[in-house]
């Protein structure tokens, strides 16, 4: 057992620690505060402490646990709310009340609760790491597949249906004459990626329900993306929208160094909102990690790894998982703070020199994989991280290091936020490298996807080029064809890209709906061009009823949208007559 | 035992005194972060704090600096605790300094209950999303940037702009609404002038709100370290009133810029590596440890609402102080110098201001059914008028259509009649909404696209009235 030798903020140094290992978990003082060894020198260990160190004294005991920091994995994770070191905040609320006093210990998974286990293999079956031996219905939406932990193998000696706690033996595994119990729960070192058979390229669209993402800058299952933006540009709302509506089996929401009220809002709304596909409460497909900005800073660092470990675990069952992290900047700041206490030579803006590698250690754990074990299955973990650049200046280290890693960028724009154009994803600066690989997916929805998308992007690009001129001479001085271009680009922006998270219908737009909406605007473009050639003024076209009907399409519910768009199409087929008849 | 304790908890073994730091030979039992008294040879006592403690040496930061500390005669006494505030219902109506001592001539607060001023974080799972409307009586806030109980909403101001007036108006008017017996004001003045502090206290006295208020005043001439403890004292009092006395507490903290500068000064004296513009890298977390004390807790009656005021250096919203604040608070009220020059009071910039909790606090049963529609239409109308103003400065007004002219006029009226109001006028939310409807009646009715037809029928004034 060691003793505290020095205390400096969240970092302590302990002596008499010979034999310990880096990343080993320790318990500090009588309150048994949790800490993790981050460096060793002779008999001294540098420890980052996951709780407030105020009041600790030199000489207090430091106890080694012999273990590195593990995530608990098993039924009971879904619907739960954890702090950064995976203590259940629900349990803490029940046991210690509304405030987070330090030194409280809880298990991540309830030790009392019984789960109905249905075996999937028989005694005598030879199994290895990753094999599914049975299932537990974790929530109405999640069938929890119980897997042999990676690295273990042998013959199932006994296995039985029944009600079990996470610690009780559901099966015995025999290998080399030794039998070992299998339980519903396994533990995995949070900082270490879980193994899989092989990786696939991400080619299937992850449907988020946000039009500008799905249509213009699509994200693929197993992909990695970043969403940087100044304060109030919509990072949180966007991530919440994705965690709500994404067509994935399970979502993990990591609130890292952000607001308590926001977490409260997420927690309450997910209890009330229903999953569009199944009609069941969203809470049944969600895990929350809430490590707000006023909770201990050091725990921010590990919370992201706890989250991604859970994502990999469910991925290994053969599911598609989305993890959103809000905000990776607060996570990086935690590393900076610890680094400063260690008197390491800092890198740019005081961040540790390993900022980039730590960021990739997180993002690189995304991916679409063939899972370990049988039956054969494919799972994916998609990762989206918010970045909060100081002063909305993207040249800062966290944004820059992140951009080197991710394959899709949703760049949020303060100017758009001030204009209340939401989502504020800037269409000129954002990109997705998945656009080319998911077009096959899209073309199944509609063969002209690529063409419509390109047309829209080109129109927006041309609008940006015209803007300079407009500022100088005003829009009225432009020739008619440029005015038309501005009309169409404005329609793309307002009637397609703008999408309120709070609109009852428009909050979620499925791919088919998105396609109908953009393609009718591009059809209108062709139609208007034809009208303009016959000498009609753009101002007249703009005031037409057809145009107004297009502006209303966001309000049209999903079950009426086909018909609505169809009738606009028919009106346009009527040519100029239809315009006049509609009335200006 | 006690005197023994005192004896062993005192040392003269100071080996180094540099900048604001003392390096001292360690004695057993020193607690990280505990408060110390440093007694100089002259008998003067300064307070300090343990910022690092090791087996061999302890580092103490002396608030007020190390001038006149000598290595032979100066003593360091360890107090064995962090800064605490005594709490009882008697704190209402009282004024304290930045160390928690009464400065209003009244008796000290006697209580068994001493609370660490750093507070304890609320469990996110225990929080309730804020949703109850606070009527401030100011149209630009109640109509467009609604404040709700449990929210933290700062005022981003600039030097010379009337943020104090606005804050005082909010204090006066917000406390009038609802059951006055469960409402309290906590006021934390950080590094402000005597005049500013006196202005607030007089304002509270005049409106009779002082008996429901608690003040913590750190003036520009009082110790810098107390700029850091002042808001924490205020929030500790606020939490006590909210969570234990079931009160709805509005906390005004001014000026956060002085707070941040004190943080920077003390960090620099410790020789820390600075981040942007010299402010410490942990300033986000530090500010969050204040602002995050706002909220509601399920199962408890009270609430803590925080209205921090800060002056943006150079009117620059990307400066670290407003920037990091904006990253923590739930929106911001931004004051505009151009509006102030036009003599619009309150000069609230509608485009840069936003209350992120607004939608939870408005609508039927809370304010009025048409509130959200009116908000969106006002914003769109004002934005269009403003855009046309900019255009006309470039291309002149000849090119404007009749419709354009209506919008220009509407934007002017919006500033004159809606945003602007007298310092002592308190508009109900109904008043606020009807001012907006009056202006809408200038526009062609088919332009009111963002408003449900039901509401147009119900609330739009007859054209005859407006013409
Ligand atoms: N898709 C959207 N639809 C409607 N409103 C939105 C949308 N996105 C953002 N907003 C508005 O913008 C406000 C700020 O958004 P959000 O809280 O997501 O910003 P943020 O980028 O997370 O800011 P911070 O960095 O300060 O956390 C929201 O409260 C909401 O009013
Ligand atoms: Mg956010």
Closest listed residue to residue A27, CA positions, set A72, A73, A60, A74: A60
Question: A423: cis peptide before it, omega within 30°?
Answer: yes
Best to test chain A binding among B116, B125, B276 (most A CBs inside 10 Å): B125
Q: Which residue of A has its CA nearest to B124?
A: A260
Q: Which residues of A touch B122 (CB under 8 A)?
A: 98-100, 260
Last residue of a domain, one of B329, B361, B393: B361
CATH code of the domain occupying A2-68: 2.40.30.20
Contact criterion met (CB < 8 Å) for A293 and B125: no
Contact criterion met (CB < 8 Å) for A336 and B281: yes
Whole-number Å distance between alpha carbons of B81 and A577: 85
Tell me the pLDDT tens digit for each residue of B114-155.
999 999 999 999 999 999 999 999 999 999 999 999 999 999
Whole-number Å distance between alpha carbons of B222 and B229: 12
DSSP A115: E
Question: Residue B185 belongs to a domain with what CATH number?
Answer: 3.40.50.12240
Q: Which residue of B has its CA nearest to A96?
A: B123
Overall fold of domain A446-582: 1.10.1140
Model confidence, pTM: 0.94
Question: Same domain, yes or no, for B132 and B92?
Answer: yes
> Do A561 and A511 form a contact (C-beta atoms < 8 A)?
no
Question: Same domain, yes or no, for B108 and B205?
Answer: yes
Question: Same domain, yes or no, for B308 and B386?
Answer: no
> Do B14 and B22 form a contact (C-beta atoms < 8 A)?
yes
Whole-number Å distance between alpha carbons of B267 and B279: 8
Instruction: Name the CATH superfamily housing domain A77-107+196-432.
Output: P-loop containing nucleotide triphosphate hydrolases (3.40.50.300)
DSSP A30-46: TTTEEEEEEEEETTEEE
Interface of A with B in 240-279 (CB under 8 A): 255, 257, 259-261, 263-265, 267-268
The domain spans of chain A are: 2-68, 77-107+196-432, 115-184, 446-582
Strands (E), B170-286: 183-192, 213-219, 248-254
Among B332, B356, B379, name the best residue to mutate to test ligand 1's pocket (greatest count of ligand atoms within 8 A of Cβ): B356
Q: pLDDT tens for chain A, 584 residues: list them.
A: 899 999 998 999 999 999 999 999 999 999 999 999 999 999 999 999 999 998 899 999 999 999 999 999 999 999 999 999 999 999 999 999 999 988 888 999 999 999 999 999 999 999 999 999 999 999 999 999 999 999 999 999 999 999 999 999 999 999 988 999 999 999 999 999 999 999 999 999 999 999 999 999 999 999 999 999 999 999 999 999 999 999 999 999 999 999 999 999 999 999 999 887 788 999 999 999 999 999 999 999 999 999 999 999 999 999 999 999 999 999 999 999 988 888 778 888 889 999 999 999 999 999 999 999 999 999 999 999 999 999 999 999 999 999 999 999 999 999 999 989 999 999 999 999 999 999 899 999 999 999 999 999 999 999 999 988 887 887 778 899 999 999 999 999 999 999 999 999 999 999 999 999 999 999 999 999 999 999 899 988 988 889 989 988 999 999 999 999 999 999 888 776 666 544 43
Question: Same domain, yes or no, for B345 and B402?
Answer: no
Q: Which domain holds residue B150?
A: 84-361
Q: How many domains does chain B have?
A: 3
Contact criterion met (CB < 8 Å) for B33 and A232: no
For residue A173, the CA-to-ligand 2 centroid distance in Å is 47
For residue A256, the CA-to-ligand 2 centroid distance in Å is 10
Locate the ligand 1 atom nearest the alpha carbon of residue A262 and give its number.
17
Over range B63-74, report the average pLDDT: 83
Whole-number Å distance between alpha carbons of B204 and A222: 59
Residue B180 lies in a domain: yes
What is the count of residue pairs from A and B with beta carbons less than 8 Å apart? 187
Whole-number Å distance between alpha carbons of B90 and B347: 38
Contact criterion met (CB < 8 Å) for A56 and B300: no
Query: Which residues line ligand 1 at a C-beta cut-off of 6 Å?
Result: A 229, 231-237, 388, 422-423, 500-502; B 326-327, 356
Q: Which residues of A touch B326 (CB under 8 A)?
A: 230-232
ipTM: 0.94
For residue A234, the CA-to-ligand 1 centroid distance in Å is 3
Ion ligand 2, residue ranges at CB < 5 A? A 235-236
Q: Which residue of B has its CA nearest to A348?
A: B275
Residue B4 lies in a domain: no
Inform me whether the C-beta atom of residue A34 falls under 8 Å from chain B C-beta atoms.
no
Residue B89 lies in a domain: yes
In angstroms, the separation between the Cα of residue A451 and the nearest Cα of chain B is 32
A78: tokens are 């879904």
Strands (E), A301-352: 320-326
């Amino acid at each position: 057992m060691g003793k505290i030798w020095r205390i400096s903020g969240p970092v302590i140094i302990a002596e008499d620690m010979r034999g310990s290992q880096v990343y080993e978990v320790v318990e500090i003082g009588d309150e048994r505060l949790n800490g993790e060894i981050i460096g060793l020198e002779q008999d001294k260990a540098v420890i980052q402490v996951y709780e407030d160190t105020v009041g600790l004294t030199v000489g207090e005991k430091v106890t080694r646990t012999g273990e590195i920091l593990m995530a608990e994995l098993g039924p009971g994770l879904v619907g739960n709310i954890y702090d950064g070191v995976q203590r259940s905040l629900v349990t803490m609320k029940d046991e210690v009340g509304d405030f987070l006093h330090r030194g409280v210990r809880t298990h991540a998974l309830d030790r009392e609760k019984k789960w109905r286990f249905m075996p999937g293999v028989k005694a005598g079956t030879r199994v290895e790491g990753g094999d599914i031996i049975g299932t537990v219905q974790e929530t109405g939406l999640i069938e929890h597949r119980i897997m042999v932990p990676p690295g273990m193998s042998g013959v199932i000696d006994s296995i039985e249906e029944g009600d079990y706690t996470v610690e009780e033996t559901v099966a015995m595994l025999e290998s080399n004459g030794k039998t070992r119990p299998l339980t519903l729960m396994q533990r995995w070192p949070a900082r270490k990626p879980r193994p899989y058979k092989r990786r696939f390229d991400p080619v299937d669209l992850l449907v988020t329900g946000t039009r500008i993402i799905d249509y213009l800058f699509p994200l693929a299952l197993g992909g990695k993306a970043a969403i940087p933006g100044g304060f109030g540009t919509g990072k949180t709302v966007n991530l919440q929208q994705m965690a709500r509506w994404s067509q994935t089996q399970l979502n993990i929401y990591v609130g890292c160094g952000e607001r308590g009220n926001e977490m409260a809002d997420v927690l309450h709304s997910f209890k009330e909102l229903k999953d569009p596909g199944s009609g069941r409460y969203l809470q049944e497909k969600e895990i929350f990690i809430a490590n707000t900005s006023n909770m201990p800073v050091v725990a921010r660092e590990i919370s992201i790894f706890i989250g991604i470990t859970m994502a990999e675990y469910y991925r290994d069952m053969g599911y598609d998982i989305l993890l959103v992290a809000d905000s990776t900047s607060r996570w990086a700041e935690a590393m900076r703070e610890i680094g400063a206490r260690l008197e390491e030579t800092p890198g740019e803006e005081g961040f540790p020199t390993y900022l980039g590698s730590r960021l990739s250690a997180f993002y690189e754990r995304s991916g679409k994989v063939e899972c370990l074990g049988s039956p054969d299955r494919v799972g994916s973990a998609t990762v989206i991280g918010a970045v909060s650049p100081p002063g909305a200046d993207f040249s800062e280290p966290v944004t820059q290091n992140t951009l080197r890693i991710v394959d899709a960028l949703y760049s949020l724009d303060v100017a758009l936020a001030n204009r209340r154009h939401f989502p504020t994803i800037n269409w000129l600066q954002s990109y997705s490298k998945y656009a080319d690989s998911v077009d096959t997916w899209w073309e199944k929805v509609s063969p002209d996807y690529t063409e419509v998308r390109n047309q829209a992007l080109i129109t927006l690009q041309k609008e940006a080029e015209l803007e300079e001129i407009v500022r100088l001479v005003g829009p009225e001085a432009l020739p008619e064809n440029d005015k038309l271009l501005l009309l169409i680009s404005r329609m793309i922006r307002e009637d397609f890209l703008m999408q309120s998270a709070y609109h009852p219908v428009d909050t979620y737009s499925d791919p088919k709906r998105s396609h109908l909406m953009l393609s009718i605007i591009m059809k209108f473009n062709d139609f208007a061009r034809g009208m303009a050639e016959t000498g009609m003024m753009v101002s007249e076209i703009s005031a037409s009823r057809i145009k107004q009907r297009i502006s209303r399409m966001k309000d049209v519910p999903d079950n009426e949208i086909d018909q609505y768009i169809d009738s606009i199409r028919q009106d346009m087929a009527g040519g100029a007559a239809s315009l006049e008849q509609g009335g200006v | 035992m006690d005197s023994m304790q005192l004896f062993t908890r005192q040392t003269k073994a100071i080996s180094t005194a540099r900048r604001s730091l003392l390096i001292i030979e360690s004695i057993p039992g020193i607690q990280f972060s505990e408060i110390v008294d440093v007694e100089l040879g002259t008998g003067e006592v300064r307070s300090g704090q343990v910022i690092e403690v090791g087996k061999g040496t302890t580092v103490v930061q002396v608030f007020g600096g190390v001038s006149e500390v000598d290595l032979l005669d100066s003593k360091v006494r360890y107090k064995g605790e962090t800064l605490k505030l005594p709490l009882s219902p008697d704190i209402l109506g009282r004024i304290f300094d930045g160390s928690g001592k009464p400065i209003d001539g009244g008796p000290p607060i006697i209580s068994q209950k001493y609370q660490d001023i750093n507070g304890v974080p609320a469990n996110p799972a225990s929080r309730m999303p804020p949703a109850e409307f606070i009527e401030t009586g100011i149209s630009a806030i109640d109509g467009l940037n609604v404040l709700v109980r449990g929210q933290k909403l700062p005022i981003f101001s600039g030097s010379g702009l009337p943020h104090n007036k606005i804050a005082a108006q909010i204090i006066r008017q917000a406390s009038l609404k609802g059951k006055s017996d469960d409402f309290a004001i906590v006021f934390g003045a950080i590094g402000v002038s005597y005049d500013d502090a006196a202005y607030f206290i007089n304002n509270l006295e005049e409106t009779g709100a002082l008996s429901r208020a608690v003040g913590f005043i750190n003036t520009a001439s009082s110790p810098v370290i107390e700029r850091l403890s002042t808001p924490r004292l205020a929030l500790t009092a606020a939490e006590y009133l909210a969570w234990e006395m079931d009160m709805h507490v509005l906390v005004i903290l001014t000026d956060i810029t002085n707070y941040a500068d004190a943080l920077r000064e003390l960090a620099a004296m410790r020789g820390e590596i600075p981040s942007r513009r010299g402010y410490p890298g942990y300033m986000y977390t530090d500010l969050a440890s204040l602002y995050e004390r706002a909220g509601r807790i399920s199962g408890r009656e009270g609430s803590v609402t925080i209205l921090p005021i800060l002056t943006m250096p150079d009117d620059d919203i990307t400066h670290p102080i407003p920037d990091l604040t904006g990253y923590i608070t739930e929106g911001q009220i931004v004051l505009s110098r151009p509006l102030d020059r036009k003599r619009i009071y309150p000069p609230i910039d509608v485009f840069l201001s936003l209350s992120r909790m607004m939608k939870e606090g408005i609508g039927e049963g809370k304010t009025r059914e048409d509130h959200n529609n009116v908000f969106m239409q006002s914003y769109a109308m004002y934005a269009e008028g403003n855009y046309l103003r900019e255009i006309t400065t470039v291309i002149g007004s000849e090119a404007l259509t009749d419709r354009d002219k209506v919008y220009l006029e509407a934007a002017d009226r919006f500033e004159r009649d809606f945003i602007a109001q007298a310092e002592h006028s308190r508009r109900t939310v109904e008043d606020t909404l009807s001012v907006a409807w009056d202006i809408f009646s200038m526009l062609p009715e088919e332009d009111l696209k963002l408003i449900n037809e039901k509401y147009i029928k119900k609330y739009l004034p007859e054209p005859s009235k407006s013409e």
